[in-house]
A = this chain, B = another copy of it.
């Protein structure tokens, strides 16, 4: 169950010819009646925004937060492609609008894949008609769309949340170049709840902050990151707080799937900083630990070398007293008052060998808390990323 879980949405996924291996590389999510729904989106903060990001931002501004469809391709980011790239993104929207009978600016566009390579627009163009013709409300159609946005993902990422009288569905991709604001990630969420654009935007931003923005696979923020939500109102009005919660849980579900499928990763690691001066400092410190190459190597080696964690905390740019810090892997406290703590080595070994490791850093200063989800740094990550062809 995915983007087609809420009433009134269709989806599709086809192979248009970008991926050389014949896998699906073009996806559509649209309202069933092709009429615009309320739309909100959060985009990358990278200044080198890809063409589709620029076009989608412009379209949302023109419509004041309405959209009937999202078209997404994988295998090519259409980033660092200049004016031609923007033309290609617009033309993609045009073609979808023509097929659906909606306005061009009611179509949003996303791309993910390699940067700096011209989008093969003719391949995309020739597949728009079959894509829209295939679009259906079925679970299978939702899954096809989720598959068509995969790059180095090994599994399709889908979620749905049953609200009180409404449903939220979602799909996402993301495997590396993953760091907040947001990640090399695309996500499309759908809901049959009714919502005003401003409220939907606020709810989405909070959902993204609580989910994708707590994820950092490698500290690299992509040119294409986009999270879009469409709310078609079929199920009528939902309390704002309920819809916001459902969106948050859907996004958290997708973010956890991303962490679990990160390139080459053998571990999913939750770095939690507590008793920091404030929440902002806690999040900053957690991110510094989570993005440390040396900490990540230790986690890959299942080595509880907490000295590297202390060292990262000391350079995180937050208030820090090395004589107050405590560090635990799972329930095993390995450092207390800044020095080595007696612990059960057998329990520690078991903790380090698990796929999910939780690291808790207690700074002993205040009440701030923050968490970042990350992975280990493995031979597999290097293998995935050392060559693009």
Mark A residues whose CB is within 8 Å of B: 45-49, 77, 79-82, 84-85, 114-118, 176-177, 181, 218-223, 292-294, 297-298, 300-303, 305-308, 310-315, 320-323, 325, 335, 337-340, 377-379, 381-382, 385-389
Complex CA–CA separation, A310 to B85 (angstroms): 15
Q: State which of B222, B340, B387 has its C-beta within 8 Å of the C-beta of A116.
A: B340
B307 near A79 with CB under 8 A, answer: yes
- When C-beta atoms are compared, the residue in chain B nearest to A322 turns out to be B48
In the complex, chain B residues whose CB is within 8 Å of the CB of A377: 293, 382
A80 near B221 with CB under 8 A, answer: no
A372 CB, nearest partner CB in chain B, Å? 15
Q: Which 6 A-B residue pairings sit nearest by Cβ, starting from the closest?
A: A115-B307, A301-B386, A48-B314, A297-B385, A116-B307, A301-B387
A181-B315, A303-B386 known; 7 new pairs, CB 8 Å cut-off, are: A79-B311, A115-B310, A221-B311, A221-B314, A221-B315, A300-B382, A382-B382
Complex CA–CA separation, A232 to B13 (angstroms): 75
In the complex, chain B residues whose CB is within 8 Å of the CB of A378: 382
A159 CB, nearest partner CB in chain B, Å? 27
A82 near B338 with CB under 8 A, answer: yes
In the complex, chain B residues whose CB is within 8 Å of the CB of A321: 47
In the complex, chain B residues whose CB is within 8 Å of the CB of A302: 387
A82 near B49 with CB under 8 A, answer: no
